[in-house]
Amino acid sequence: MSGLVARLRLAAPAALVPLGAVVVALLVGAVVMAVAGVDPLRGYDAMVRGALSVSNIDFAVASFTAILAMSLAFAVPARMGEYNLGGDGQLALGGISAAVVALYLPAPAIVLLPVCLVAGALGGAALASVSAPLSTRAGVPVIISTLLLSAPAVALTSYLVRFPLAERGSAVPQTSRLPDAAHLPSFPGTSYTNAGLVVVVLVLLLAVRVDSRTPVGYEIRVAGANRGFAAYGGLSVPRLTLGTLVAAGAVAGLAGAIIVMSQPFRFIDDALTAPGYTFAGIAAALLAGGRPALLPLTAALFTVLTVGSAGMERDVDVPRQLGQVLQAVVILVLALRVLAARWVARRARDAVGGKV
């Protein structure tokens, strides 16, 4: 059956479907705006300006950093056919770990900055790593365990920031402001765009390299294509699962650390998960179809949708939720394509009667 699906994939030029998904999403958005009495061109213009105009680009780049990292956190295990839906928990644990280190370790910036980033990565990796033995020993699918572990992890950070780590005298559940030594240096003339972007881009370059030019990257692809073939070749699927999940959790945790080490330099309850970086990252990874090199492009697209919809709300009075709707439409179209391929395959299989 996989042969038939492969044939279908061959038939549709690889780039056409993702592009089509985006076009469909934009058309749906245009219809929604038209129905609401807004000129779609003005609406999209407001959306693009909301993200990319001189006054907004600074904040948009910070969001891009987070979305790019989260897309990587989904894309890495997806390469071997495992789906990490626990980005929120990993992001939050990474953020809180970095905040704790920054608040309690008196050290100069040169030491504190890398230590905080590493702490964040470890926090996210620790959570994600739990899903590996759950999958390879206990048979709990990664897609389920990551999702189920995410909510309690987020809740734990909520508790920490409300009680043991709460800033005294503040009504908002947040930590105190991190010391100056833990502030990521920002680019001249900006307040949000900082070294975090450089860190994430370096991590992405590393991921692209590992994927295409190392034995481990090759083994991950082999395990994703056929587990039986991987086992036959002597590859250790449990180890690869653990490796990809640790890497994914580390990137998500790193994103959390970068967020708390940027303006306003605190861990604020909900501030990491509310903007929907995880979801936008998953959408970007799905749109990139597992090719890490395309992630910057797709992450940029979803950044515009996420950040720009606020501008759209302000300028043309279209609710900002439209941005999320568009993301959902893209995912839906991509999913429909997989379903359509499955349906064709099923019809053929029913015709010949199941499989062993």
Partner 1 sequence: MTDLHPDDARPAAGADTPAAELRGITKRFGPVLAVDGVDLVLERGTVHAVVGENGAGKSTLMSVLYGLQRPDAGAVLRNGRELRLRSPLDAIDAGLGMVHQHFRLFGSLTVAENVVYRAEPGRWGVYDRRAAEQRVTELAGRFGLDVDPSARVDTLPLGVRQRVEILKALHRQAEVLILDEPTAVLTPGEVDSLFAVVRSMAAQGTTVALVTHKVREVLEATDRVTVLRDGVVSARLETARTTAGEIVEAMIGRGLKPAVNPRGAVSGEPVLEVSDLRLAAAPGAAGVHGVSLQVRPGEVVGIAGVSGNGQREVVESVLGLRSPDGGSVLLHGQDLAGLGVRERRGRGIAYVPEDRPGMGTAASLSVADNLALGHHRTPPLGSRARLSPRAVRAQAGELVRRLGVKTAGVNAPLASLSGGNAQKVVLARELHHEAPLLVVEQPTQGVDVGAGEEIHRLLLDYRARGGAVLLVSYEISELRALADRVLVMLDGVVTADLDAADATEEVLGAAMVHATRPDDGSSRAGS
Ligand X SMILES: Nc1ncnc2c1ncn2[C@@H]1O[C@H](COP(=O)(O)OP(=O)(O)OP(=O)(O)O)[C@@H](O)[C@H]1O
Give the nearest distance from C-beta 347 to partner 1 in angstroms: 6
Q: Which CB atom, from 4 or from 19, has the smaller least distance to ligand X?
A: 4
Distance of CA 336 to the CA centre of its chain: 21
Phi and psi dihedrals of 53, rounded to 5? Answer: -65, 160
Rule CB under 8 A: choose which of 82, 88, 219, 313 binds partner 1: 219
Q: Which residues contact 109 (CB under 8 A, 6 or more apart)?
A: 180, 181, 182, 183
Phi and psi dihedrals of 86, rounded to 5? Answer: -100, 25
> By CB under 8 A, how many residues form the interface with partner 1?
35
Where helices occur in the chain by DSSP H, the ranges are 2-11, 16-35, 40-52, 57-78, 87-104, 109-129, 131-136, 142-162, 195-213, 215-225, 227-232, 237-260, 277-288, 295-316, 321-352
Q: Which CB atom, from 83 or from 218, has the smaller least distance to partner 1?
A: 218
Give the nearest distance from C-beta 118 to partner 1 in angstroms: 22
Residue 346 lies near ligand X (rule: CB under 6 A): no
Give the nearest distance from C-beta 1 to partner 1 in angstroms: 8
Give the nearest distance from C-beta 347 to ligand X in angstroms: 18
Residue 191 lies near partner 1 (rule: CB under 8 A): no
**Alpha-carbon distance 56 to 59, whole Å?**
6
Torsion of CA 218, 283, 57, 123, to 10 degrees: -60
Give the nearest distance from C-beta 356 to partner 1 in angstroms: 5
Residue type (1 letter), 24: V
**Which 67-126 residues touch ligand X, going by CB under 6 A?**
none
Rule CB under 6 A: choose which of 1, 2, 5, 7 binds ligand X: 7
Q: Which CB atom, from 9 or from 162, has the smaller least distance to partner 1?
A: 9
Residue 9 lies near ligand X (rule: CB under 6 A): no
Q: Which CB atom, from 225 or from 339, has the smaller least distance to partner 1?
A: 225
Query: DSSP assignment of 175-207, as one string?
Result: PPPPPGGGSPPBPTT-SS-BHHHHHHHHHHHHH
Residue type (1 letter), 35: V
Site string for partner 1, 8-47 (x = CB under 8 A): -xx-------------------------------------
Rule CB under 8 A: choose which of 31, 111, 231, 340 binds partner 1: 231
Structure tokens at 270: 């909900």
Binding-site partner at residue 106 among ligand X, partner 1, none, CB < 5 to 8 Å by type: none
Rule CB under 8 A: choose which of 53, 170, 212, 321 binds partner 1: 212
For residue 238, say if its preceding peptide bond is cis, omega within 30 degrees of 0. no
Give the nearest distance from C-beta 46 to partner 1 in angstroms: 42
Give the nearest distance from C-beta 16 to partner 1 in angstroms: 15
Q: Which CB atom, from 140 or from 344, has the smaller least distance to partner 1?
A: 344
Residue 348 lies near partner 1 (rule: CB under 8 A): yes
Q: Residue 14 burial (CB < 10 Å; 0-12/13-18/19+)?
A: exposed
**Which 233-252 residues touch partner 1, going by CB under 8 A?**
233-236
Residue 336 CB neighbour total at 10 angstroms? 14
For 39-76, b/e burial (b = at least 16 CB within 10 A) is ebeebbbbbebbbbeeebbbbbbbbbbbbbbbbbbbbb
Q: What angle do CA 344, 345, 351 make, to 5 degrees?
A: 95
Rule CB under 8 A: choose which of 114, 232, 274, 297 binds partner 1: 232
Using CA atoms, how far residue 334 sits from 302, 326, 337, 346, in Å, is 15, 13, 5, 19
Give the nearest distance from C-beta 234 to partner 1 in angstroms: 3
Q: Which CB atom, from 108 or from 354, has the smaller least distance to partner 1?
A: 354
What is the binding site for ligand X (CB under 6 A)?
7, 10
What is the binding site for partner 1 (CB under 8 A)?
2-3, 6-7, 9-10, 212-215, 217-219, 221-222, 225-226, 228-229, 231-236, 347-356
